[in-house]
């Protein structure tokens, strides 16, 4: 253990790093860093168990910085414990690994944070992963009092308590001031304690700058926690520099001139003895339990039987998922209280220990999934596609954390869900998931393609050809099978379902509207009109040359889809054609361009002119 006097000296050095690095960067959040210095220094030097040379690992204790704008504090502690060797003065400079908020470009950073209110959910996932594998390592998460207003924290508090994650420690930095004024509870510490107590957490209240009190709080967590544990720390924003302490209008502002900087450094009163402290990190993990970490080295997904029974794609994908679970032992399924609609109950019945019920808490579900994904698990999340929109910021930040593989399945796509109405219809989900810089979006139309595409995702992932976020868009109605067991579905390709040498129009579609296009094909055949029907089972990424070859010179193109016309598949297709110089004399997107009503599915498809009759009439009108 490092003595209190040495910790105090280290805290001065950390404060110096923060002030100088943000001053040189001419931007940053030094006052937000200064309030948490003692909390972080005591943790890293006296309690966190890890190895500096390969941090972080699942068998290490993990530190999650939810208040990501305190990145200079994180970089300084990493530097002075030997985890990184970057120049702290490169902070926020182009190409530097020390970005304004933590980025996984820096190897020691596991999660991209900075969009506030997400760290606690991530930490719940990381703690669940360790508890599942019976590891001794613990998870600590530093949360600011300003971001504690985010509702996602309360989702996470609930789930941590439900799963009794007594290996999780929340460090609540209550420094009173937010960006534009005081936080909603300011320094009313007793109100924070009542919140945590109500959610079933253990807690202690401390002076967040009293080194001995901080040390005792961490000891209490390590020795006595029988529930999730919180340290409610009353702190001072800007601590250590008198003209910054507890002052408003300093958020996100570095010291502006050399005189201010020198005045602040003089107050720190750093002497040569402080500077000469040799930091030899001495707390290494017990790695005996590493052998409990399962791998997926030995399995053959080609052994999985594909069900040929026609069914809704939302059901078919869960049928395949329950079979895949027998082979992939680190596959975890998360549900948001819709398991009997998404059919993830199939997986739960077989592998209850790998099923996490998040209830109606989609933000926490996504955050927990990131914590799982970066600790050796493959998360599969399923809910109505419409409800992922409320968690979009979590999904966006997940992309920046570069998880190995996370699979999202959104059910109840489009107006074909029928009477439940617009609130339940996924009409914006394609726009949401395709807008992510790194994502894969798949849209199977029948039972066989849904099952085969799920297996293909896992196959490509383990072959090193696919990583990151994958979104499956699935439909509510049961449908017949278009394909047989001999068909293969390569991600990036499309399928030509109907074609002839005399096709006048190409219809591109997926999901329920694809079946309407096939009905229109039959109607037009009776009138001697040939059209091509193409299944866009891959929405992103699309092999552009393969798509254009599939259209094969047809000049009249219609995209039919049950999605908002804005941000639609049709807009993606139009961009690809334009980019590749493909000449058309007619192009139209038949999609949803007004807020839907509540009615039976067939009535809605007819009303929005997305049924077979509307498609037939559109083809005849342009010919």
The catalytic site residues sit at 362
Residue 209 in contact with residue 221, Cβ under 8 Å? no
Q: What does the block give as tokens for 45? A: 């030097």
- Helical (H) or strand (E) element with 295: none
- Angstrom distance (rounded) from CA 66 to CA 327: 35
Residue 595: how many CB atoms within 10 A of its CB?
10
Residue 532 in contact with residue 503, Cβ under 8 Å? yes
**Residues in contact with 376: Cβ distance below 8 Å, sequence separation at least 6, in sequence order:** 58, 129, 133, 293, 330
Residue 615 in contact with residue 558, Cβ under 8 Å? yes
Residue 141 in contact with residue 64, Cβ under 8 Å? yes
Name the H helices within 102-245.
119-132, 151-162, 189-198, 211-224
Q: What does the block give as tokens for 182? A: 């005081």
- Angstrom distance (rounded) from CA 555 to CA 10: 71
Q: Where are the beta strands (DSSP E) in 330-473?
A: 331-335, 355-357, 378-384, 405-411, 439-442, 468-473
Q: What is the dihedral of CA 154, 159, 164, 166, to 10 degrees?
A: -50
Angle between helices 569-579 and 544-551 (to 10 degrees): 90
- Angstrom distance (rounded) from CA 361 to CA 383: 11
Q: What does the block give as tokens for 201? A: 């957490």
Residue 178 in contact with residue 116, Cβ under 8 Å? no
Task: Find tokens 């010919």 and name the residue.
Answer: 623
Residue 354 in 3-state DSSP? helix
DSSP 380: E
């Amino acid at each position: 253990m490092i003595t209190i006097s040495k910790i105090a000296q280290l805290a001065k050095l950390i404060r110096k790093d923060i002030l100088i690095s943000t001053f040189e960067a001419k931007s940053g959040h030094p006052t937000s860093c200064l309030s948490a210095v003692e909390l972080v220094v005591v943790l890293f030097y006296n309690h966190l168990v890890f190895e500096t040379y390969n941090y972080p690992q699942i068998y290490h204790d993990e530190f999650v910085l939810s208040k990501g704008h305190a990145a200079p504090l994180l970089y300084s502690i990493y530097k002075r414990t030997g985890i990184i060797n970057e120049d702290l003065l490169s902070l926020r400079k182009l190409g530097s690994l020390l970005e304004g908020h933590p980025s996984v470009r820096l190897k020691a950073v596991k999660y991209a944070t900075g969009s506030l209110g997400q760290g606690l959910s991530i930490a719940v996932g990381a703690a669940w992963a360790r508890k599942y594998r019976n590891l001794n390592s613990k998870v600590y998460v530093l949360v600011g009092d300003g971001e504690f207003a985010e509702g996602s924290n309360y989702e996470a508090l609930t789930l941590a308590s439900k799963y009794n994650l007594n290996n999780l420690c929340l460090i609540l930095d209550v420094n009173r001031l937010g960006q534009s004024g005081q936080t909603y509870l300011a320094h009313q510490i007793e109100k924070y304690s009542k919140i945590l107590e109500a959610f079933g957490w253990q807690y202690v209240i401390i002076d967040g700058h009293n080194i001995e009190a901080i040390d005792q709080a961490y000891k209490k967590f390590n020795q006595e926690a029988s529930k999730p544990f919180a340290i409610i720390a009353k702190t001072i924003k800007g601590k250590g520099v008198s003209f910054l302490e507890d002052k408003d209008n300093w958020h996100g502002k570095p010291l502006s001139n050399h005189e201010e900087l020198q005045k602040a450094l003089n107050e720190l009163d750093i002497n040569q003895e402080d500077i000469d402290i040799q930091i030899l990190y001495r707390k290494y993990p017990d790695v005996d339990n590493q052998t409990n970490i399962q791998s997926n080295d030995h399995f053959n997904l080609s052994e999985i039987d594909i069900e040929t029974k026609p069914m809704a794609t939302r059901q078919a994908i869960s049928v395949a998922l329950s079979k895949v679970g027998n082979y992939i032992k680190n596959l975890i399924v998360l549900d948001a209280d819709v398991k009997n609609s998404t059919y993830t109950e199939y997986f739960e019945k077989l592998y209850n220990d790998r099923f996490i019920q998040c209830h109606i808490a989609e933000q926490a579900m996504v955050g927990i999934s990131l914590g799982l994904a970066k600790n050796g698990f493959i998360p599969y999340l399923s809910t109505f596609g419409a409800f992922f929109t409320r968690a979009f910021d979590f999904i966006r930040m997940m992309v920046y954390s570069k998880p190995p593989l996370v699979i999202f399945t959104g059910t109840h796509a489009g107006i074909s869900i029928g009477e439940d109405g617009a609130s339940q219809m996924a009409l914006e989900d394609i726009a949401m998931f395709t807008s992510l810089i790194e994502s894969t979006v798949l849209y199977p139309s029948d039972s066989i393609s849904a099952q085969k595409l799920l297996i293909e995702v896992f196959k490509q992932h383990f072959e090193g050809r696919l990583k990151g976020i994958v979104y499956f868009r699935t439909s509510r109605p049961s449908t017949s099978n278009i394909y047989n067991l001999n068909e293969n579905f390569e991600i990036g390709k499309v399928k030509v379902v109907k074609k002839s040498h005399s096709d006048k129009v190409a219809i591109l579609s997926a999901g329920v509207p694809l079946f309407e296009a096939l009905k229109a094909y039959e109607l037009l055949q009776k009138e001697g009109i040939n059209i091509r029907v193409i299944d866009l089972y891959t929405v992103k990424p699309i092999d552009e040359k393969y798509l254009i070859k599939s259209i094969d010179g047809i000049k009249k193109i219609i995209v039919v889809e049950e999605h908002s016309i804005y941000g639609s598949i049709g807009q993606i297709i139009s961009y690809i054609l334009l980019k590749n110089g493909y000449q058309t004399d007619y192009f139209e997107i038949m999609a949803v361009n007004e807020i839907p009503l509540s009615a039976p599915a067939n009535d809605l498809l007819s009303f929005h002119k997305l049924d077979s009759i509307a498609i037939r009439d559109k083809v005849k009108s342009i010919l």
